[in-house]
Amino acid sequence: MSETFQILIADDHPLVRGALKQALSTELDNVTLYEAGSLFEAIEQIEAHKGDIDLVLLDLHMPGMNGFTGLFTLRASYPDIPVSIVSASQDMPVVRRSIEYGASAFVPKSAPVDQIGLAVKTVLDGGMWMPDWARDAMENGPADDEATNLAEKIGQLTPQQLRVLNMLTEGKLNKQIAYELDVTEATVKAHVSAILRKLSVHSRTQAVIIARELQLQEPAIET
The mean pLDDT of 49-53, rounded to a whole number, is 87
Going by C-alpha positions, the residue among 161, 174, 177 that lies closest to residue 211 is 161
Interatomic CA distance for residues 18 and 128, integer angstroms: 24
Backbone torsion region of residue 181, taken as left when φ is above 0, otherwise alpha when ψ lies between -120 and 50, otherwise beta: alpha
pLDDT per residue as tens digits for the range 53-96: 999 999 999 998 888 989 999 999 999 999 999 998 888 889 99
Q: What's phi and psi for 28, nearest 5 deg?
A: -115, 135
Maximum separation of any 2 CA atoms in the chain, in Å: 53
Band of residue 137 on the pLDDT scale cut at 50, 70, 90: confident
Sheet holding 31-36, edge to edge: 31-36, 5-10, 55-58, 83-87, 105-108
- At 217 the pLDDT is 57
Does the pLDDT of residue 1 top 50, yes or no? no
Torsion (CA) 125, 129, 131, 136 in degrees, nearest 10: -130
Instruction: Give the model's pLDDT for residue 150.
Output: 85
**Burial level of 184, CB count in 10 A (0-12/13-18/19+)?**
exposed
pLDDT digits (tens, 9 = 90+) for 162-207: 989 988 988 899 999 999 999 999 999 999 999 999 999 999 999 9
Amino acid in the structure at residue 38: S
Collapsed DSSP state (helix, strand, coil) of residue 110: coil
Question: Could you tell me which residues come within 8 angstroms of residue 143 by beta carbon, excluding any fewer than 6 positions away?
Answer: none
- As a whole number, mean pLDDT of residues 135-155 equals 82
In the predicted structure, residue 102 carries a pLDDT above the cut 50: yes
| Residues 93/141, Cβ–Cβ less than 8 Å | no
Q: Per-residue confidence at 220, pLDDT binned at 50, 70, 90?
A: very low
Residue among 126, 91, 90, 121 nearest 108 (CA): 90
Does this chain's domain 3-138 share its CATH topology with 143-215? no
**What integer pLDDT is reported at residue 2 of this predicted model?**
54
Q: What is the mean pLDDT of residues 37-62?
A: 93
Residue 11: the pLDDT is: 95
Mean pLDDT of 25-33: 91
Question: Domain residues of the chain, as ranges?
Answer: 3-138, 143-215
Angle at alpha carbon of residue 60, lines to 55 and 62, rounded to 5°: 100
Instruction: Specify the fold of 143-215.
Output: Arc Repressor Mutant, subunit A (1.10.10)
| pLDDT attached to residue 180 | 92
Average pLDDT score over the chain:
89
Please, are residues 9 and 42 in contact by the beta-carbon 8 Å criterion? no
Q: What is the CATH number of domain 3-138?
A: 3.40.50.2300
pLDDT score recorded for residue 66: 85
